[in-house]
Amino acid sequence: MKVLIPAALHSYTHEARVEAAGGTLAELFADLDRRYPGLRFRVVDERGLLRPNMRVFVNGLGVRDLAHALRPDDDVAVVLALSGG
């Protein structure tokens, strides 16, 4: 499936869109980490949860659960949430 990668993580992928596989978001990030070592740790914390500053959208729907099921034709976007004061 196609995965949109935020600019802050292009140092891992060198591309804005990459291909990856997985039946769940957790499997997708494991596959991305195999292809681009270190990327998963920037998105998923030590407890296996999405980091607070990361957002994931599957076919335009915001998803926080890494057990969320995926289909091969899904479009996944990883987005870095901005905060400020």
> Whole-model pTM?
0.91
Pairwise CA distance, residues 85 & 78, whole Å: 23
Domain assignment present for 65 = yes
pLDDT at 85: 55
Per-10-residue mean pLDDT of the chain, 85 residues long, equals 96 97 97 98 95 95 97 96 66
Domain assignment present for 85 = no
Distances (CA, A) of 68 to 12, 29, 55, 65: 24, 12, 14, 6
> How many domains does the structure of the chain reveal?
1
pLDDT at 3: 98
**CATH number for the domain including 9?**
3.10.20.30
**55: containing domain:** 2-80
pLDDT at 17: 97
